[in-house]
Structure 1
Amino acid sequence: MEDKKNKAVCFGEVLWDIFPGEQKRVGGAPFNVAYHLSRMGVETHMISSVGDDQLGHDLLQKMKNWNISTEHIQINTEYATSTFIASMDENNDAHYDIVENVAWDFIDTTNADEEILNKTDVLVFGTLAARNEKSKNTLFHLLELSSYNVFDINLREPYYEISIIKDLLHKANLAKFNKAELRMMLDFLGKTYTNEEDSIHYLQDQFDLQEIIISKGSKGALYADKDDFYLYPTIPVTIKDTVGSGDSFLAGFLSKKLEKGSSVDETMIQAVSLGAFITSQEGACPEYTVEDFNRFKSEYPLSALK
């Protein structure tokens, strides 16, 4: 990737996750990516919307405390700040009751957002923010202005339409799936799963995708470009919870990819290492420094499986 300005924009949901018996935590997949990109030293902007309410004001203050720009967070006077009511299963995986018709469902197109896209290396987005016509139209407009679009599929039933996912994949340069989402995508397209390599080639051909990442949990992660496949193992850590682990993985990948001259090997090691580091801690956005992460990374050296 051309080393221009080392900036990223994340588009979509920013919200409060409400966990049982705990205080609220800032969340939303694109925001989690923004948080970790910022921690890794990338100038990151979040395009979203919050309500003109206490939760919205608290969220903006939290972002400022974390030195994340709030310049592109719109304040909506008609719709409330988003909350996800979370529960944890026996595997420490989170499940969410997602409230509809919230502020980030109604993100407007603004001149400031258009301008920042012209100064940005990467635009990160997911499926959920396209569930409402308003934000969906804004997203598709911004995708036309971005030079490198990263689609974190992140399917949340029932808040997606297959036709929209297809349209978004056609706009993407890189798409990230987990194992379940890869199978689901093939089912949507009427393609029988045989193996990962065949599946990835099929998606690359169907959507002219330059790059695909598959995060595979305990089985590691796979990166594919037009030329080759790269497989990396997971790092054995004690799991505190898995909330946001895929988001930190993606942020790790992009933070290294944005560095001029970074190899696939360096980029994937950064991705897997940051995902494992966050999984070993509490919450999707724990407090840490680059030095904390680099110490962890040095303790768990990693190399490709092939």
Structure 2
Amino acid sequence: MKDKKNKAVCFGEILWDIFPGEQKRVGGAPFNVAYHLSRMGIDANMISSVGNDQLGRDLLEKMKNWNIPTDHVQINTEYPTSTVIATVDEHNDAHYDIVEDVAWDFIEATKENKEILNSTDALVFGTLAARKEETRNTLFQLLEISHYNVFDINLREPYYEVGMIKDLLHKTHLAKFNKAEMRMMLDFLGKDYTTEEDGIKYLQDKFDLEEIIISKGSKGALYANQDKFYLYPTIPVTIKDTVGSGDSFLAGFLSKRLEKGSSVHEIMTQAVSLGAFITSQEGACPEYSLEDFIRFKNEYPLSALR
């Protein structure tokens, strides 16, 4: 009998990124992860909220067109759908002006949200959605129900608070940092940085974290599982933009991590390959099929650096 389809729930912001001189694009780190998980064959749901406005209706329509369920996206009659003004600098890095008091700042804890987590393999979340009390309280309720909590740190100044990050890490099974975020976290904790491995072990011990991912840009990605460390290189591609590259990396990682019997090599190859594939295209959620991605992955076989 075929194994059941793996399920994931992504919690938090769904929004429109407004780029200069372009039409709006669907965005929000948790949504980007849900999009790519869905493309990888995972049953991905989104717990979020949009306004009772045209932008909200457009978002829901976009999700339906992409076959991402909208059942757990609430419609808020008091607050608008989220928009973010995005700019891209000379290094192709994106910067965001994130409007406050939008629908996803007020995600309610519902019976339906809690029930879906009983049959879900992973709950993916970040810091941004926890900037306001109501959504933060909902998130902490859901973390108590979920069996596998995946925290994509994704720090967006000024929308985080160190105490909150610590509380979230104590509820986390897998944490993803980029290298700068890891060093910032160690600094917050008063821990001197010596080596990457030492910093990771410190965070594992401090928060009882078995799994940590460090994305290192052009220097690859490191996965720590208990006391084992796996370093994989990046794939050299022509970069179109870096928007959402970390989200696609995480989705690639989880798509194999949730698959029964996957090896670390399969997990990391999927993660690095999907991150590179999306970086070579425009936008965080470009149109592509699983077959498109598999062709790309097969062109660039990877070996662990250590």
Pairs within 5 Å for 1:142-181: 142-181=142-181
AA at the equivalent of 2:19: F
Give the TM-score of the pair, scaled to structure 1. Answer: 0.98
Q: Which runs of 5+ in 2 are unaligned?
A: none
Aligned position for 1:236: 236
- 1:33 pairs with 2:33: yes
Q: Could you list the per-position Cα deviations for residues 10-42 of structure 1 after superposition, in whole angstroms to 9, with x for gaps in the alignment?
A: 000000000000000000000000000000000
Aligned position for 1:51: 51
Aligned position for 1:281: 281
For residues 147 and 108 of structure 2, what CA distance do their matches in structure 1 show? 21
Q: Could you list the per-position Cα deviations for residues 179-220 of structure 1 after superposition, in whole angstroms to 9, with x for gaps in the alignment?
A: 110111011111111110000000000000010000000000
Is the 1:4–1:121 Cα contact (8 Å) retained in structure 2?
Answer: no
Change (3 A) 1:299 1:177: same
For residues 161 and 182 of structure 2, what CA distance do their matches in structure 1 show? 16
Shift of 1:259: 1.1
For residues 222 and 15 of structure 1, what CA distance do their matches in structure 2 show? 30
Aligned position for 1:18: 18
3-state SS of 2:270 partner? helix
For residues 221 and 4 of structure 2, what CA distance do their matches in structure 1 show? 28
Q: Which runs of 5+ in 1 are unaligned?
A: none
For residues 228 and 120 of structure 1, what CA distance do their matches in structure 2 show? 27
3-state SS of 1:171 partner? coil
For residues 236 and 20 of structure 1, what CA distance do their matches in structure 2 show? 27
Aligned position for 1:87: 87
Shift of 1:4: 6.1
- 1:207 pairs with 2:207: yes
For residues 146 and 245 of structure 1, what CA distance do their matches in structure 2 show? 26
Aligned position for 2:185: 185
Task: Report the identity percentage.
Answer: 82
- Paired residues in the alignment total 304
3-state SS of 2:144 partner? helix
Aligned position for 1:255: 255
Is the 2:5–2:42 Cα contact (8 Å) retained in structure 1?
Answer: no
For residues 49 and 280 of structure 2, what CA distance do their matches in structure 1 show? 30
For residues 26 and 192 of structure 1, what CA distance do their matches in structure 2 show? 39
For residues 264 and 185 of structure 1, what CA distance do their matches in structure 2 show? 26
Shift of 1:5: 4.8
Is the 1:127–1:165 Cα contact (8 Å) retained in structure 2?
Answer: yes
3-state SS of 1:139 partner? helix
Is the 2:214–2:222 Cα contact (8 Å) retained in structure 1?
Answer: yes
3-state SS of 1:276 partner? helix
Shift of 1:303: 1.0
For residues 239 and 40 of structure 2, what CA distance do their matches in structure 1 show? 22
3-state SS of 2:236 partner? coil
Shift of 1:266: 0.6
Shift of 1:265: 0.9
Is the 1:14–1:28 Cα contact (8 Å) retained in structure 2?
Answer: yes
Aligned position for 1:121: 121
3-state SS of 1:83 partner? strand
Shift of 1:227: 2.5
- 1:305 pairs with 2:291: no
For residues 263 and 127 of structure 2, what CA distance do their matches in structure 1 show? 29
Is the 1:5–1:121 Cα contact (8 Å) retained in structure 2?
Answer: no
Shift of 1:297: 0.3
Aligned position for 1:8: 8
For residues 303 and 11 of structure 1, what CA distance do their matches in structure 2 show? 33
For residues 227 and 290 of structure 2, what CA distance do their matches in structure 1 show? 32
Aligned position for 1:71: 71
Give runs of ≥4 in structure 1 deviating > 2 Å.
Answer: none
3-state SS of 2:23 partner? coil
Is the 1:5–1:119 Cα contact (8 Å) retained in structure 2?
Answer: no
Aligned position for 2:195: 195
For residues 210 and 84 of structure 2, what CA distance do their matches in structure 1 show? 33
Is the 2:44–2:68 Cα contact (8 Å) retained in structure 1?
Answer: yes
Give the TM-score of the pair, scaled to structure 2. Answer: 0.98
